[in-house]
Amino acid sequence: MKYNIKITKTQNSHLSDVDFNNIPFGRVFSDHMFVAEYRNGEWEDLRIEPFGRFGIHPAAMALHYGQAIFEGMKASKSFDGKPLFFRPEMHAKRFNNSARRMCMPDVPESLFLEGLHRLVDLDSDWIPPQEGSALYIRPYMFANDEFIGVKPSENYRFIIFTGPVGPYYPKPVSLIAEQEYVRCAVNGGTGEAKVAGNYAASLLPARKANAKGYDQVMWLDANEFKYVQEVGTMNIFFVIDGTVVTPSLNGGILPGITRDSILTIFREKGYPVEERNISVDELIEAHAAGKLQEAFGTGTAAVVAHVSKIAVGDKVMELPPVEQRKLGEMAKKEIDGRRSGKIEDTHGWIVRVKHFETVNV
Ligand code: COI
């Protein structure tokens, strides 16, 4: 192994407290975390330590100026019990793309991956075996200079922690097109980076959407409020008259790894697929003509989440029942099947978690 990672194991595992048949998303955390400090232009003090709180200076720059990025990824167990990652290199690359956009240092891909393998190997008993569940992995980095003033920080902390999760959306989601607010996700903005502030800017519109009875906001382009972009937590797909359609990556939306995987699978199976602009008017017309057959969101957390209805202003479009959603269901089965090893990994997306015999305590 390339890096010297100091490993301190917990003396107080709480694995036995967890009910794997009933895991709320994002509230249960595994025993350990990987931590690295960026100081004087180097990543140092690499360690795995018991998961827990840490102190932070009140002037830590991330808290004021928002230099904070993250990834969301998953590990699962194959049907015969082997721990697996899904496309970990792609997550490492996207993380560094986000870092560059926010003027933060790269985490070398080899360091990102070694920390990931060591951590998930150590906590592999935390990977839930149940279908539809997984170990959610949260790598993140934040600016740690103790300084008041707007400039890039010189010190950063990189952390990976994990936690077992069940489905993010246990039932189909309802969406409302946002016709008032925009996020930082405009052309030239930060939409294609996984930046904490993008999510912060989505909270008020999301709360307003909830108050109107909708689960999520469907974002439109920030210039004309005409073209669909994505959902707050997922990329979006439609099936219009038999064709799979999703907004093209235009710099304003997140280049989803689940999105990319599903596009690849559909194309490989010979379905007509289009990445292009989709206007809300097109959706309304297709719905009126009975041609809007499916809508679903895709993301690491959500995997594939069916959309039950979409509101655009006063117009509410109910979508066909889930039992009729052939392509969304197929996408979900394909992703889950590859993650469990039941469907052959034809693209080298599945990576076995490396096993380490000895750890330096
Ligand atoms: C993910 O899909 O992993 C995300 O980071 C989105 C968040 C809603 C959990």
Mean pLDDT of 101-122: 98
Tokens encoding 89:
């290199």
Architecture of domain 173-324: Alpha-Beta Barrel (3.20)
Q: Whose CA is nearest to atom 7 of ligand 1?
A: 233
Q: Which atom of ligand 1 is nearest the CA belonging to 74?
A: 3
Q: 360 falls in which pLDDT band (50, 70, 90)?
A: low
DSSP-assigned states of every residue in 10-46 = -SS--GGG--TTS--TTS---SEEEEEEEETTEEEEE
Measure the CA–CA gap between 331 and 145, rounded to whole angstroms.
43
Q: Which atom of ligand 1 is nearest the CA belonging to 70?
A: 5
Residue showing tokens 């060591």:
118
pLDDT above 90 covers a percentage of the chain that reads 90
User: Does the CB atom of residue 233 touch ligand 1 within 6 A?
Assistant: yes
- CA-based max dimension of the chain: 65
User: Does the CB atom of residue 301 touch ligand 1 within 6 A?
Assistant: yes
The 10s digit of each residue's pLDDT in 217-255 is 999 999 899 999 999 899 999 999 999 999 999 888 999
Ligand 1 centroid, distance to 310 Cα (angstroms): 21
Ligand 1 centroid, distance to 248 Cα (angstroms): 20
Q: Whose CA is nearest to atom 6 of ligand 1?
A: 233
Q: Whose CA is nearest to atom 4 of ligand 1?
A: 72
Which option is the CATH number for 6-166: 3.40.190.10, 3.30.470.10, 3.30.420.40, 2.30.31.70? Answer: 3.30.470.10
Domain-by-domain residue ranges, the chain? 6-166, 173-324
Confidence at residue 270, expressed as pLDDT on a 0 to 100 scale:
97
Ligand 1 centroid, distance to 191 Cα (angstroms): 14
Ligand 1 centroid, distance to 302 Cα (angstroms): 7
What's the mean per-residue pLDDT of the chain? 95
Ligand 1 centroid, distance to 72 Cα (angstroms): 6
Q: Which atom of ligand 1 is nearest the CA belonging to 194?
A: 5
Confidence at residue 358, expressed as pLDDT on a 0 to 100 scale:
61
Q: Whose CA is nearest to atom 3 of ligand 1?
A: 72
Residue 361: is its pLDDT beyond 70? no
Ligand 1 centroid, distance to 298 Cα (angstroms): 10
Ligand 1 centroid, distance to 172 Cα (angstroms): 17
Q: Which atom of ligand 1 is nearest the CA belonging to 232?
A: 8
Q: Which helix (H) or strand (E) holds 119?
A: helix 109-122
Question: What crossing angle do the helices spanning 326-340 and 257-268 adopt, rounded to 10°?
Answer: 110
Q: Whose CA is nearest to atom 9 of ligand 1?
A: 301
Mean pLDDT of 207-217: 97
Confidence at residue 359, expressed as pLDDT on a 0 to 100 scale:
56
Residue 299: is its pLDDT beyond 80? yes
Please tell me which residue, 263 or 132, carries the higher pLDDT value.
Answer: 263
